Amino acid sequence: MNGQPPGTAWEAGHLTRRIVLPPDAEIAVAVGQQVEPATTLAHVPAASTPVVLSLSSELGTSAARMADHLTVEVGDTVEVGTVLAERRSFVGMRRQTVTAPQAGHVAFVSMDTGTIIIHPDDSATTMPALVYGTVAALEEAPVPTVVLDAPGVAIAGALSFGESSWGPLILWEEPDPPAAAGGWTSWEGAVVFLRGEATADLLASAAEHRAAAVVAPGSTAPLPGTDWHSTAPESELSPAVPTLLIYGQLAPALPDGMLHALRSLAGTTVGIAGADQRGAPELLLTGPAAGDTAERIGQPSLKPGRDAVILCGALASTVVRVIKTTETHLFQSEWRGPAAQVEAADGSTLWAPLVSLVPLPTVRSD
């Protein structure tokens, strides 16, 4: 899971992205090269350190009995969590297991010492560009970095689950999955942007129809299959499909400008920077079509007297009223930018970055 307060609600126009790579990454692009979302920027070698496990110690048995407990043999391919050995106790039928801590293959088993060695497969992962743009610069120090320029829109996320992905954009405005809604839309390989919050049914449908990813304004409850306060391993918590939440646990309606722009970009290939990238999670809508509609996504209307909700920080979820706005305000953190002076329910006032505020819908009284 990758999560942090959104650094910007959205950024439109000319985007510059710095893709920071692992130290051992091999850059696969050149300055001036045109890239697409699926373009490989770099190859990242797989871990080369074998894992040595003492199965007899883990199971509390002698090495001479290992043949009775092994569930794999030399040459077998294993994934993270594959059971390597198990021991059952007749008292209460208690079952003890030892599982693989990394993917690879079983390279060695010793019946004399009760030791097993797992060697990682000699394969590399790739880092995708996720945008339509140009390689503006390559940096080697202090760490390998690819700088990309791309026209379009970046919508920041608050929480992301899963790796980076890309695919044609589908805007799903119904509260129910396709089958339940009476219509069918092929979600296979697509980035499905939900107008409403992420629900169990919608996420299950996205996984069933092999969607590339799901984007949603937020979720009023922990994502199905997740518990943000749990100490369980992340692999047990993540949804079955990569998921990006824009406002985290808050699920306000999408601003009109964003909604209209998303409708006009339906079918355009978009990218999601997920937990495998070393930056903030975000949705990237780039290319000529996205550049033409960038101006349609503007800062939400935060006029004096308008109620809004704070997205992040110590006062996250607090409803405030806008007193005034300014194009530049210097905060104690030395960050300078557009901000609003707001008043809380207890009468206290503070300054908040505009990007951390979402206006609440106005209520019409007859």
Matching CATH topology for 51-119 and 307-359?
no
Kindly give, in sequence order, each residue whose CB lies less than 8 Å from that of residue 88, ignoring residues fewer than 6 positions away. 94, 95, 96
The per-residue pLDDT for 333 is 60
The per-residue pLDDT for 155 is 80
The per-residue pLDDT for 124 is 66
The per-residue pLDDT for 13 is 66
Burial (CB < 10 A; 0-12, 13-18, 19+), residue 195, is middle
The per-residue pLDDT for 330 is 81
Structure tokens at 353: 């970055």
Instruction: Indicate the class that CATH gives domain 51-119.
Output: mainly beta
The per-residue pLDDT for 89 is 66
pLDDT tens for the chain, 366 residues long, are: 443 333 345 665 678 888 888 888 889 999 999 999 999 999 887 666 788 888 888 887 887 778 888 899 888 888 877 889 888 765 545 677 888 887 788 888 888 788 888 888 766 678 899 999 999 999 987 888 999 998 877 887 777 777 889 999 999 988 888 876 555 568 989 999 998 888 888 888 898 888 999 998 877 655 544 443 333 344 344 567 888 888 766 666 666 666 777 787 888 889 998 767 766 788 888 877 666 555 455 445 678 898 887 755 567 667 889 999 887 788 776 666 677 899 998 999 998 877 567 666 554 343
The per-residue pLDDT for 131 is 92
The per-residue pLDDT for 29 is 96
Question: Where does 307-359 sit in CATH, by number?
Answer: 2.30.30
Query: CA 319, 324, 328, 329: dihedral to nearest 10 degrees?
Result: -60
pTM: predicted TM-score of the whole model, two decimal places:
0.61
The per-residue pLDDT for 40 is 94
The per-residue pLDDT for 347 is 92
Going by C-alpha positions, the residue among 311, 175, 319, 194 that lies closest to residue 249 is 311
Burial (CB < 10 A; 0-12, 13-18, 19+), residue 227, is exposed
**Cα 273 to Cα 332: distance, rounded to the nearest angstrom:** 29
**Cα 209 to Cα 48: distance, rounded to the nearest angstrom:** 35
Going by C-alpha positions, the residue among 165, 222, 159 that lies closest to residue 6 is 159
Q: Where are the domains of the chain?
A: 2-45+128-296, 51-119, 307-359
**Cα 337 to Cα 316: distance, rounded to the nearest angstrom:** 19
Kindly give, in sequence order, each residue whose CB lies less than 8 Å from that of residue 218, ignoring residues fewer than 6 positions away. 158, 197, 198, 245, 246, 247, 248, 249, 250, 251, 252
